[in-house]
A and B are shown apart, each in its own frame.
Chain A
Amino acid sequence: MSENRVDENRLIPDKSDTATRARIDHSCQGVVVFWYGSSVLWLVLGSALALIASIKLHTPGFLADAAWLTFGRVRPAHLNTMIYGWASMSGMGTLLWLMARLCKLELPWRRILVFAGLYWNMIVAAGTWQILAGNGTSIEWLEFPWMISIPLGAIFVMLIALTIHMLRNRKEKHLYVSQWYLFGATIWFPFLYLAATILIHSSAAVGVAKGTANWWFAHNVLGLWLTPIGLGSAYYFIPKVLGRPIHSYYLSIIGFWTLALFYNWAGTHHLIGGPIPAWLATVGIVGSMMMFVPVLTVAVNHHMTMVGNFHRLRSSPTLRFIVFGAMSYTIVSIQGSLTALRHVNETGHFTHYTIAHAHLGVYAFYTMIAFGSMYYVMPRLVGREWISSRLIKVHFWCCAIGITMYWIGLSWGGWLQGTWMNNPDVPFIDIVKRMVPYLWSRSIAGTLMTIGHFAFAILVWKMIRREGEWLVEPTLFSSDKESALPSETVHGEVAKS
Chain B
Amino acid sequence: MTTMYIYIWSFVLLFGLSAVGALAWAVQSGQLANFQSGATSIFDEDEPVGEITDAFPTSVKPQPAESKKT
Which residues in A have some Cβ–Cβ distance to B below 8 Å?
4, 16-18, 21, 102, 172, 174-177, 183, 187-188, 191-192, 194-195, 198-199, 202, 204, 236, 239-246, 249-250, 253, 257, 260-261, 312, 315-319, 375-376, 385-389, 392, 466-470, 473, 475, 485-486, 489-490, 493-497
Contacts and interface: CB of A to CB of B under 8 A. Distances in A.
Interface string B45-62: 111111111111111111
A168 B17 CA distance: 19
Given A260-B19, A319-B54, A493-B59, 10 more contacts: A17-B47, A21-B47, A175-B26, A204-B8, A240-B53, A241-B54, A250-B35, A315-B56, A469-B62, A490-B58
Interface in B19-59: 19, 22-23, 26, 31-32, 35-59
10 contacts: A17-B44, A241-B53, A243-B43, A243-B51, A250-B35, A261-B19, A315-B56, A467-B68, A493-B60, A495-B58
Contact of B53 (A250, A253, A469, A473): A473
Interface of B: 1, 4, 7-8, 11, 14-15, 18-19, 22-23, 26, 31-32, 35-63, 67-68, 70
Given A4-B70, A195-B11, A253-B35, A389 B57 contact: yes
A177 B53 contact: no
Contacts of B40: 245
B2 to A, nearest CB: 10
Q: Dominant SS at the A interface?
A: helix
Q: Which of A21, A174, A497 neighbours the largest number of chain B CB atoms within 10 Å of its CB?
A: A174
Given A204-B1, A245-B39, A475-B47, A485 B52 contact: no
Contacts of A198: 7
A194 B26 CA distance: 26
A204 B36 CA distance: 49
Contacts of A315: 52, 55-56
Contacts, number: 145
List 6 A-B pairs, minimum CB-CB distance, nearest first: A204-B4, A249-B39, A496-B59, A17-B44, A245-B39, A316-B54
Given A243-B48, A250-B35, A495-B59, A172 B54 contact: no
